[in-house]
Amino acid sequence: MYANTAPAVPITVPDLQARKRRGEKIVSITAYDAGIATRADEAGVDLVLVGDSLGMVVQGHASTLPVTMDAMVYHTACVARGLRRPLLVADLPFMSYRNEELALANAARLLGEGGAAMVKLEGADWVCAIIHALKRHEVPVCAHLGLTPQAVHRLGGYKVQGRDDETAARLRADARAVQEAGADLLVLECVPAALAAEITRDLAIPTIGIGAGADCDGQVLVVHDLLGITPGKRPRFSKDFLPGTNSVLGAISAYAAAVRSGEFPAAEHSY
Ligand SMILES: Nc1nc(=O)c2c([nH]1)NC[C@@H]1CN(c3ccc(C(=O)N[C@@H](CCC(=O)O)C(=O)O)cc3)CN21
Ligand SMILES: CC(C)C(=O)C(=O)O
Ligand SMILES: [Mg+2]
């Protein structure tokens, strides 16, 4: 009923840009194992992210900070075995990209051992030099701004970012800076919908929102939130898609359809 039986034509990095130009939403979820990866593939998800959120939803930690490179490589390789079509993106965890040498070596592990096509890292500022170095060495990069969970101690919790004029201006400038540094894609997490819309219009690269309103070029959700299996509290911007469907494949398919129709995220999932 839901299974996508079309021949798998893998999604490439240049395809993402084309998606933005054509106004086609990019549908993304996280995955940490081959089972969810397989269902995501069947549901027609475009981009699968092995997030360092695995520290919280798989390992049960209170933050993403304890996640190691070994854990990221292990889960990325597990997910890669379940995918045929979606683009595979893997997070560089806390402290794994603190200098250029380390970032290149760790990105090489995620692409080489893990099978990812792109790495994601958080922040702008000094991170722009790292993005540039990765790009020069042919590693596609996804930037991540707004609520950057690896900065939880500085931010003082998982809170919406860019609410006042000063932090909004900073975010706009950072978005331009990561694009300029060579980022292929930008995740905007927990920022006011109007600000995310403005940044999305301003940039040539696609934006993927999570708690950032419906006007980003794509959406991403942590799969545990989408299936109602989050340990602890599910973030307000997320939605449990399992009720009303009869399977994991059904829930992921319902999410994909809701993103493509513009039905998700609704106002109640936005700031
Ligand atoms: N299950 C899960 N889902 C996620 O989306 C997620 C993770 N874990 N772990 C890594 C980061 C951390 N994230 C989070 C975690 C909590 C909130 C949260 O509770 N936010 C408040 C809003 C606070 C405010 O209004 O300022 C909320 O009620 O949703 C947000 C993002 C997003 N990522
Ligand atoms: C929530 C997404 C964007 C992420 O970074 C993660 O899952 O780690
Ligand atoms: Mg992450």
pLDDT (mean) for 222-234: 97
At 266, list the tokens. 């609704």
Does any domain span residue 62? yes
The pLDDT value recorded for residue 6 is: 63
Q: What is the pLDDT of residues 110-127, one digit of tens each?
A: 999 999 999 999 999 999
Task: Say which CATH number the domain at 35 has.
Answer: 3.20.20.60
Domain that holds residue 187: 13-269
Q: Is the pLDDT of residue 142 over 60?
A: yes
Catalytic residue (choose from 138, 189, 198, 268): 189
Residue nearest atom 4 in ligand 2 by C-alpha distance: 51
**What is the C-alpha to C-alpha distance for residues 202 and 198, in angstroms, rounded to an integer?**
6
The pLDDT value recorded for residue 213 is: 98
pLDDT band per the 50, 70, 90 thresholds, residue 223: very high
Does any domain span residue 2? no
Residues with CB under 6 Å of ligand 2 are 30, 49, 51-53, 91, 144, 187, 189, 210, 220, 222
**What is the C-alpha to C-alpha distance for residues 199 and 241, in angstroms, rounded to an integer?**
28
Number of domains in the chain: 1
The pLDDT > 70 percentage for the chain reads 97
Does any domain span residue 97? yes
How much distance in Å is there from the Cα of 158 to the middle of ligand 1? 5
pLDDT (mean) for 92-100: 98
Q: Is the pLDDT of residue 7 over 80?
A: no
pLDDT (mean) for 247-256: 98
Which residue, 213, 218, 131, is CA-closest to 179?
Answer: 131
User: How many angstroms from the chain centroid is the CA of residue 194?
Assistant: 20
Binding site members for 3-methyl-2-oxobutanoate? 52-53, 91, 120
Helices 248-261 and 34-42 pack at an angle, to 10 degrees, of 50
The pLDDT value recorded for residue 241 is: 98
Q: What is the pLDDT of residues 36-57, one digit of tens each?
A: 999 999 999 999 999 999 999 9
Q: How many CA atoms lie within 13 A of 145 on its CB side?
A: 28
Q: Is the pLDDT of residue 72 over 60?
A: yes
Collect residues with CB below 5 Å from ion ligand 3. 51-52, 91
How much distance in Å is there from the Cα of 6 to the middle of ligand 3? 31
Does any domain span residue 198? yes
**What is the C-alpha to C-alpha distance for residues 162 and 168, in angstroms, rounded to an integer?**
4
Told to judge if 101 belongs to the known catalytic residues of this protein, a careful annotator would answer no
> CA 259 → CA 13, 90, 221, distances in Å?
20, 22, 11
Does any domain span residue 37? yes
How much distance in Å is there from the Cα of 25 to the middle of ligand 3? 21
Helices 165-181 and 127-136 pack at an angle, to 10 degrees, of 20
The pLDDT value recorded for residue 25 is: 98
At 121, list the tokens. 């890292």
Does any domain span residue 5? no
pLDDT band per the 50, 70, 90 thresholds, residue 8: confident
**What is the C-alpha to C-alpha distance for residues 166 and 130, in angstroms, rounded to an integer?**
25
pLDDT (mean) for 14-29: 96
Q: Is the pLDDT of residue 77 over 70?
A: yes
pTM of the model: 0.97
pLDDT (mean) for 172-192: 98
At 52, list the tokens. 């360092």
pLDDT band per the 50, 70, 90 thresholds, residue 219: very high
What's the burial of 125, exposed, middle or buried (CB within 10 Å: 0-12/13-18/19+)? exposed
Does any domain span residue 89? yes
The pLDDT > 90 percentage for the chain reads 97
Does any domain span residue 119? yes
